[in-house]
Amino acid sequence: MDLLITGGRLVDGARRDILIETGRIAAVGSVPHAGAAGVIDASGLVVMPGLVDGHRHVWQAALRGLGPDMTLPAYLDEVLGRIAPSLDAGEARLATLLGAAEALDAGITTVFDFSNVIRSAEHGDAVLDAYATAGVRAVLGHDTVPATSGLVTPAVAVHADPLRQIRLARDRGVIATMHAGGGGGQVRGLHAAGLLGPHLHLVHVNGMTPEEAELLAGTGTTVTVTPVVEATMGHGRSPWSTFAAAGGRAGLGTDVMVNAPADLFEPLRDTLRTHRMDTGTMHPAGDLLATVTSGSARAIGLGGVTGAIEPGLAADLVLLDGFAHLADDADVTGAVVTTAGVRDVHTVIVNGRVVKRDGRLTTVDLPGLRRVSAERFARFFQ
Ligand SMILES: [Zn+2]
């Protein structure tokens, strides 16, 4: 036995043990306690699947707070045009390590990293080294299918030549991810080219029309919404409800780090509020947890790998403090969706490895990393 988590309360309200063997969930239920190499007593804690961030520019953690009023053109010019190309491989590693550490600290065990700092094989290796050091699971998106290792799955990040890049991804059996606006014929064009489908992952799509929602949902094309950044930078209103009305289920992401928080609790609550206002209904809060767990995992091609607490799936788990007072018949999932924050993230496990324990990361000295990063990247804030 590798690791046994005892007495925790799952989000369905039941108290169950979880047995982890070789990085996977081996059993959920009442498990004999003898023989486990390690035991975590989760009494009083809520145990939920690790959160999955469907769209993040991980390295931009180093630029936190740089652009509170940045518009998209200014961001493209300054962050992607001027800053990103100036990072050497060591800096790409440092910035990505900081971003991966902040994600894990917030209970995000998997990130889809639309990495804008990789401009050489050395940069690519540096980014992979950062993921491995922090201990995060990642899908790495790059212009072509990138080399990967460890807990990293490759993907194609589309920007230069969409039709060619989406075909490349489909032919190679990986996800193609693309920033998309929606509403301007782009989705219809992709449909006409035969390129919609589960291999294509669209991000934002704020202008999504009901017709586009039908096309996307009907073809199994996946969508990730990043509502905080989309509202902050003026991309538009969240299309989550439009997609849902067509039977689609968008996952959530954080996106740029220059003007958005590093956690998924804020996009999650933003989505709940917007959806309730858009539909005029009291859509159950707990139902939305799937948008940052199994739903996000499926959107980025990791359905059946992570995002749920089931035997056979990766042991990617988050233990939350702060809910011990809830009654036995309480709606635990709804309580988490409406009130949880980074401060509640007590323990984080990725692929069976404990990366945060009792509120502190075990793999990275986060305060120290912040100091090193602040010195190294001071030039961007002058
Ligand atoms: Zn983005």
Ligand 1 mean position, distance from CA 210 (Å): 23
Read off the pLDDT of each residue in 218-244 and give the average, rounded to a whole number.
Answer: 97
Per DSSP (E only), the strands in 102-232 are 108-114, 137-142, 152-158, 175-180, 200-204, 222-225
Q: Which domain holds residue 327?
A: 3-49+313-361
**89 with 43, same domain?**
no
Ligand 1 mean position, distance from CA 230 (Å): 10
Q: What pLDDT, in 10s, does the model give residues 281-295? A: 999 999 999 999 999
Task: Please give the share of the chain, as a percent, with pLDDT higher than 90.
Answer: 93
**117 with 135, same domain?**
yes
**208 with 177, same domain?**
yes
Q: How far apart are CA 54 and CA 31, in angstroms?
A: 33
How would residue 31 be classed by pLDDT, with cut points 50, 70 and 90? Answer: confident
- Does residue 62 register a pLDDT over 70? yes
Ligand 1 mean position, distance from CA 155 (Å): 14
**191 with 334, same domain?**
no
- By CB atoms closer than 10 A (0-12, 13-18, 19+), residue 350 is buried
Question: Within a 10 A sphere around the Cβ of 137, how many other Cβ atoms?
Answer: 25
- How high is the pLDDT of residue 159? 84
- Within-domain flag for 379: no
- Does residue 210 register a pLDDT over 60? yes
**111 with 190, same domain?**
yes
Ligand 1 mean position, distance from CA 97 (Å): 18
Ligand 1 mean position, distance from CA 67 (Å): 15
Ligand 1 mean position, distance from CA 178 (Å): 9
**254 with 343, same domain?**
no
Give the residue from 362, 361, 354, 310 showing the smallest Cα distance to 24: 310
Ligand 1 mean position, distance from CA 229 (Å): 9
- How high is the pLDDT of residue 37? 80
How many helices (DSSP H) and strands (DSSP E) are in the chain? 12, 17
Which residues in 97-117 are b (16+ Cβ under 10 Å) and which e?
A: bbbbbbbbbbbbbbbbbbbbb
**88 with 183, same domain?**
yes
Q: Return mean pLDDT, the chain.
A: 96
Ligand 1 mean position, distance from CA 369 (Å): 24
Ligand 1 mean position, distance from CA 54 (Å): 10
- Asked if residues 240 and 275 have their Cβ atoms less than 8 Å apart, the reply is yes
Task: Please give the share of the chain, as a percent, with pLDDT higher than 70.
Answer: 99
- Within-domain flag for 375: no
- Within-domain flag for 115: yes
**130 with 210, same domain?**
yes
Ligand 1 mean position, distance from CA 85 (Å): 16
- Within-domain flag for 59: yes
**106 with 180, same domain?**
yes
- Asked if residues 224 and 56 have their Cβ atoms less than 8 Å apart, the reply is no
- Does residue 323 register a pLDDT over 80? yes
How would residue 202 be classed by pLDDT, with cut points 50, 70 and 90? Answer: very high
Q: How many domains does the chain have?
A: 2
Q: What pLDDT, in 10s, does the model give residues 97-134? A: 999 999 999 999 999 999 999 999 999 999 999 999 99
Ligand 1 mean position, distance from CA 36 (Å): 42
**80 with 167, same domain?**
yes
**317 with 292, same domain?**
no
Ligand 1 mean position, distance from CA 250 (Å): 15
- How high is the pLDDT of residue 1? 56
- Within-domain flag for 366: no
Ligand 1 mean position, distance from CA 322 (Å): 32
Ligand 1 mean position, distance from CA 45 (Å): 34
Ligand 1 mean position, distance from CA 253 (Å): 9
- Asked if residues 5 and 40 have their Cβ atoms less than 8 Å apart, the reply is yes
Read off the pLDDT of each residue in 252-268 and give the average, rounded to a whole number.
Answer: 97
Q: How far apart are CA 269 and CA 311, in angstroms?
A: 29
How would residue 266 be classed by pLDDT, with cut points 50, 70 and 90? Answer: very high
CATH number for 341:
2.30.40.10
Q: What pLDDT, in 10s, does the model give residues 137-173? A: 999 999 899 899 999 999 999 988 999 999 999 999 9
H or E, element range at 16: strand 15-21
Ligand 1 mean position, distance from CA 74 (Å): 14
- How high is the pLDDT of residue 30? 83
CATH number for 167:
3.20.20.140
**222 with 357, same domain?**
no
Ligand 1 mean position, distance from CA 56 (Å): 6
- Asked if residues 286 and 48 have their Cβ atoms less than 8 Å apart, the reply is no
Ligand 1 mean position, distance from CA 358 (Å): 32
